[in-house]
Amino acid sequence: MNFFLETLVSGLSAGVMYSLVAIGFVLIYKASGVFNFAQGSMLLFASLTFVTLVEKGAPFGVALGTTALVMILGAILIERLVLRPLVNRDALTLFMATLGLSFVIEGLAQLLMGSDVHMLDLGIDDLPVSVGGLMISQFDLFASGAALALVAVLSIVFNKTRMGISLRAVADDTLAAQSIGIRLPAIWRIVWSVAGIVALAAGLIWGARQGVQYSLSLVTLKALPVLIIGGFSSIAGAIVGGLLVGATESLADIYIGPLVQGSVSTWFAYILAVVFLLVRPAGLFGDRAIERV
Amino acid sequence: MTVASQIADTPVRGVQRRAGLIGRPLVLITIGLVVAFVAIPLVATDYWLSSIIIPTIVMGLAGLGLNLLMGYAGLVSLGAAAFMSIGAFATYNLLLRLPVLPLPVVLVLAGLIAAAAGILFGLPSLRIKGFYLGASTLGAQFFFEWLFTNFKWFSNGSQSLTISAPRLAFLGWDLSAATGRYLLVAAVTALLILLAYAIVHSRVGREWMAIRDQDTAAAVIGIRIGRRKLLAYAISSFFCGIAGALWAFGYLGTADAHAFDLDKSFQVLFIVLIGGTATLFGSFFGAAFIVLTPILLDRIVLATSLTASADQGALANLQRIIFGVIIILLLIKEPDGLSSLLRRGLSGVRRRDTASRAPLG
Amino acid sequence: MPSLSVPTIILAGALGLVALTGSQPASAQEHKGEQLYPLFTYRTGPYAPSFIPFGAGNRDYLRYINEVEGGVDGVKIFIQECETGYTIERGIECYERYKNGYDGALTAAIYPHSSGLDVALTDKARIDKIPIVSPGGGQNIATDGRVFPYQYPLIFDYWSEAQIVVDYIAHQVGGTDKLKGVKIATLYHDSGYGRDTIEPLDILSKKFGFEDIQIPVPHPGEQQQAQWQQIRQAGADWVFLRGWGVMTPVAIKTAARVGFPVNHIIGDIWSGSEDDARPAGGVAKGYLAVSVFPPGTDYDILKKLKETIIDTGKSDLKDDTKFGTVYYNYGVIEAITFVEALRTGHRKFGNHPLTAAEGQWALENLAIDDQRIAALGAKGLISPLQTSIANHKGETIAAKIIQWDGTRWDTLTDWIKADTTLFADVIRAKAAAYAQEKGLVLRTASN
């Protein structure tokens, strides 16, 4: 029983890390209707920039600030050079454009900062502490805390500030929002910047776990089923979806894996997501403007 | 105009455009066949056949398969490579385990097996549309990659989990050399293009387009939408399955499940979008672009002797960046794909012809 | 006039330029009299970190041969790079581009630098009669040169590796007779590569009586909490870590989280580079790994490279701290096999560039004994190697165990030799089954 619980808890903490990545997707999808495949590359680029600065001797805060600035600059460039020319095009074209964008970002990252594998130490031990009899890693607690803080900040920004309200207006009805004077390019720039900073946060946490290297960009693949289950446009959905995916795939690997003599978690989350779609097309929170047949 | 007559009149986009472009399709088809089956095998070198022409044709065929689904029926799939892998593994196992079957029969059967899987993974389309549907087809992508890796039976217990063609022969001809593989690929593709042409001009094709453009109206006039959608997945997967078999045995020679990974699915998607949706030949332009561009960029580096002066790693990364930029530029500048560009180019030439003749007349 | 956009022009240019350069420059013979070495690179993408030092070791050694030793028996080596990005398609294009030589230089052998590409080229190489050489990463069944005349999986295979790991553990517990009841868990990357050790470990566990636990990690392996809990739950004594890429540092970190002792984890040869251990941070101190490409700079040949290539600024390395790392030395070792094969061929065919047919003979008659190793200045860097038609991998398969001290690798043992007779029959039977499936006629020494 304890083994089951520990598997479950470790799955949940993995899920939080997936959610961190998924939130970046949600922000961009909500505001611009773009499924941004380059989110993984942005995550790589951000963490690589950060770690390179730190290795060059920059203090933690300076490196963090500089990287955030770089991500904002990147967002402005992406809006101007990619999004604006593609306005009003279908979702698939936009998706493909972000795939092209991921080649550019990954190429730039390796061109500018090299291909080395970097160690990233955030100063938090990845060792277990006992919480109510269960062994939980301090690092997982920290990651969960970071995710919670991020969600809290984002929800304050979206619910209380003028910018956030404009953003929600755009998400609800783009045309109406424009007609009352909300400038779409400005909103996009802001949202892509925020997504860039979220990518930085996720990149640091993932990078501390596995080292900062190219394969960081692959975590997108784990975020996709989270999004299908949680919805492309709900931050709460991303969190719950992440927990669900993390927990079920951990359990599946332990309890179903041996039956088929292999690991199942590469596809398990996707099949779960498909089944979920079939049973509940409206999504976890029913807030998706889903095109039902 | 009633909906029914609208269906009847729904223009078959690619065809109408082509009809405007070419006066005599028969002449063109003949020329095409002569080029494909006489000129190319005579002229092309091994290098051209093995590393440029064959992959272009096969990827174009996969693009055509996906185009039937996306361009004509208006559905989405991000898992085209999964159906390619089914075709490849089915072909391998049929050839191995049922040696009596001749190659063409095996290819058709492999296509049908892929079609069956297509129907299964097309089921979500009965309930959802749009990008969620696309994302759900990723399930197929990861499931089949795992299936063919996890169970050694599919690769006949091979240690490296790879499959290679046991025999590539037809009516006693050995097709394993480059020219043979080319002829196999070209013949199969020609037949499948014909089949695709027939399908999009049939009632099924027109109904697909009706569903794509106006699904409610299509339902009102009695089109059984669910069945038609599943049929679209089946036919698309049939094409992709055969393309996968050709990719594994006509091009690679030996393949494993990872030859059909997510990147390959995205490539097929690129091919459709860059080539032009709802065109039969656009995919082949798209495939040429995807296959040729990286090779070309590498060639430019080689030809200009940049390697002597610049850092190799930087050059390699720069090529990747340029490839990404070209893709974005194409999506921005050519919304209808390369095939529309070619059409514009040709009609432009003709217009100029008429214009230059006008003063004389 | 239709508007011709930038991409159109690029595409048109593309077609034109490929048409121009696509076929071999038959007339150009600028590099006649040289031996081509097509260097298949992957300087971009996820695996670039391992290639960059590897490629540098490769290039540096060949440059040393060309510039300091005046070529191989006077024959200069002409290096042409071709970027594969570790994809099969690009690799096939590179193969087709260079299989018949380039610019007058001849191709004697091709090193695909990718296990996947090695497999994909099997049939093509058979038709083209081009030797494909994959030191450390070839197909084990291709050891049987009677079935695979053109594949050379030199130096190492994972079955021997499993044996060496069990042998090392036996030493630690006090002899093979003490293995009974010892629990050895293999945590493997869930792929053809990772699954390859399931069968030999099963055979070994039956022979020695240790308990064999197999646990897969799905690619890329960024989450392993569940797997390590399973290892702890099973009460494993040792873990054989057959990782790839990011899977290794995550495994080491996760082991620390569940409290598994790091000095009882033995990494695979692809889990044993600096980039595998360093990202795991302090908890990696004491981590063990199998090494056929021993790190370090204290070998005569490395000293010579330092003096003539690194210190003169001719190295391909941008970051000199990578000199003497696992992958750099791997590059040097691989280049040594190429150069020694050429020397072998020169003794039989004369001192001129070898053709592919001559290259095949040379690779099949390669003999690098202790004396030759000493002459190369590679004592301790490579173990003796002797190939034949029946054995394309080479006799005496051996590896060392190395240990991470927190910043670099220490060599813990001398060469541990694998008993190649143990699996020889199984491998030969697999090769025979392959030959039957493909309808191949076995080669004998006479034909």
Instruction: Give, for all 361 residues of chain B, the pLDDT tens digit.
Output: 344 444 444 444 444 444 444 456 778 788 888 888 888 888 888 888 988 999 999 999 999 999 999 999 999 888 999 999 999 999 999 998 998 888 899 999 999 999 999 999 998 888 887 777 887 788 899 999 989 988 889 988 887 788 887 667 777 777 778 888 999 999 999 999 999 999 999 999 999 999 988 888 888 888 888 999 999 999 999 999 999 999 999 998 888 888 899 999 999 999 998 898 888 888 999 999 999 888 888 888 877 776 666 677 888 888 889 999 999 998 998 888 888 877 777 776 666 555 544 444 3
Q: How many angstroms separate the CA atoms of B105 and B90, rounded?
A: 12
Q: Which residues of chain C neighbour B338 with C-beta distances below 8 Å?
A: 8, 11
**Do C119 and C76 reside in the same domain of the chain?**
yes
Q: Is the dihedral of CA A271, A274, A280, A285 positive or negative?
A: positive
Query: Domain range for residue B54?
Result: 3-260
Nearest residue to C356 (alpha-carbon basis) of C190, C119, C128, C145: C128
- Partner chains of B (3+ C-beta pairs under 8 Å): A, C
The two most distant CA atoms of chain A are separated, in Å, by 59
Please tell me the pTM assigned to this model. Answer: 0.89
**Do C314 and C340 reside in the same domain of the chain?**
yes
Q: How far is A150 from chain C (nearest CA, A)?
A: 22
Q: Is C242 exposed, middle or buried (0-12, 13-18, 19+ CB in 10 A)?
A: buried
**Is the separation of the CB atoms in B260 and B85 below 8 Å?**
yes
| Phi, psi angles (nearest 5°) of residue B209 | -65, -35
pLDDT band of residue A210 (cuts 50, 70, 90) is confident
Residue with tokens 């130096």: C155
**Do C120 and C219 reside in the same domain of the chain?**
no
| Chain C interface residues (partner A, CB cutoff 8 A) | 43-46, 48-49, 52, 190, 216-220, 222-223, 225-227, 229-230, 233, 245-246, 249-250, 253, 256-259, 275, 278-281, 283, 318-319
Distance of CA B162 to the CA centre of its chain: 23
Of the residues C87, C199, C225, the best mutation for testing chain A's interface (the one with the most A CB atoms within 10 Å of its CB) is: C225
Beta bridge partners of C401: C290
Nearest residue to A274 (alpha-carbon basis) of B113, B87, B79: B79
- Classify residue C403: in a domain, yes or no: no
**Do C194 and C147 reside in the same domain of the chain?**
no
- Classify residue C422: in a domain, yes or no: no
Residue with tokens 């009299």: C33
Give the number of domains in chain B. 1
Q: What is the dihedral of CA A293, B6, B12, B13, to 10 degrees?
A: -80
**Do C174 and C218 reside in the same domain of the chain?**
yes
- Classify residue A293: in a domain, yes or no: no
Are B128 and A290 within 8 A, CB to CB?
A: yes
- Classify residue B225: in a domain, yes or no: yes
- Classify residue A292: in a domain, yes or no: no
| Residue A66 clears pLDDT 90, i.e. is over it | yes
Residue partners of B310: CB distance under 8 A and separation at least 6 = none
Q: Which residues of chain A neighbour B324 with C-beta distances below 8 Å?
A: 100-104, 107
Task: Extract the runs of DSSP E, i.e. beta strands, from A16-77.
Answer: none
Give the number of domains in chain C. 2
Give me the CATH number covering residue C198: 3.40.50.2300
Of the residues A102, A104, A117, the best mutation for testing chain C's interface (the one with the most C CB atoms within 10 Å of its CB) is: A117
pLDDT recorded at residue B215: 83
Query: What is the amino acid identity at position B6?
Result: Q
Which has more confidence, A156 or B189?
Answer: B189
Chain A / chain B CB contacts < 8 angstroms? 134
Beta bridge partners of A137: A128
pLDDT recorded at residue A218: 83
For A:105-124, CB contacts with B below 8 A are 106-108, 110-111, 115
**Is the separation of the CB atoms in C141 and C148 below 8 Å?**
yes
**What are the tens digits of pLDDT across the range C44-100?**
888 888 899 999 999 999 999 999 999 999 999 999 999 898 888 899 999 999 999
Query: Domain range for residue C166?
Result: 158-291
- Classify residue B66: in a domain, yes or no: yes
Domain boundary among C256, C291, C326: C291
Q: Which of A97, A267, A292 minimises the CB distance to B127?
A: A292
Are A265 and C256 within 8 A, CB to CB?
A: no
**Is the separation of the CB atoms in A42 and A220 below 8 Å?**
no
Give me the CATH number covering residue A189: 1.10.3470
- Classify residue A259: in a domain, yes or no: yes
Q: Which residues of chain A neighbour B136 with C-beta distances below 8 Å?
A: 228, 270, 273-274, 277
Q: How many angstroms separate the CA atoms of B164 and C440, rounded?
A: 13
**Is the separation of the CB atoms in B339 and B282 below 8 Å?**
yes
Flag whether residue A256 sits within 8 Å of chain B, measured between CB atoms: no
- Classify residue A267: in a domain, yes or no: yes
Q: How many angstroms separate the CA atoms of B333 and B331, rounded?
A: 6
Domain boundary among C242, C270, C291: C291
Query: Domain range for residue A203?
Result: 2-279
Q: Tell me which chain A residue has its CA closest to the CA of residue B74.
A: A92
**Do C343 and C311 reside in the same domain of the chain?**
yes
Query: What is the amino acid identity at position C293?
Result: F
- Classify residue C420: in a domain, yes or no: no
Give the number of domains in chain A. 1
All residue ranges of chain C with pLDDT < 50 are 1-4, 23-27, 446-447
Nearest residue to B39 (alpha-carbon basis) of B24, B49, B47: B49
**What are the tens digits of pLDDT across the range A109-153?**
989 998 888 888 888 877 777 777 777 788 888 888 888 898 888
Once rounded to an integer, what is the mean pLDDT over residues A100-105?
A: 94
**Is the separation of the CB atoms in B259 and C91 below 8 Å?**
no
Are B324 and A227 within 8 A, CB to CB?
A: no
pLDDT recorded at residue C138: 87
> What H or E segment, with its residue span, contains residue C360?
helix C356-364
Q: Which of C3, C44, C127 minimises the CB distance to B320?
A: C44
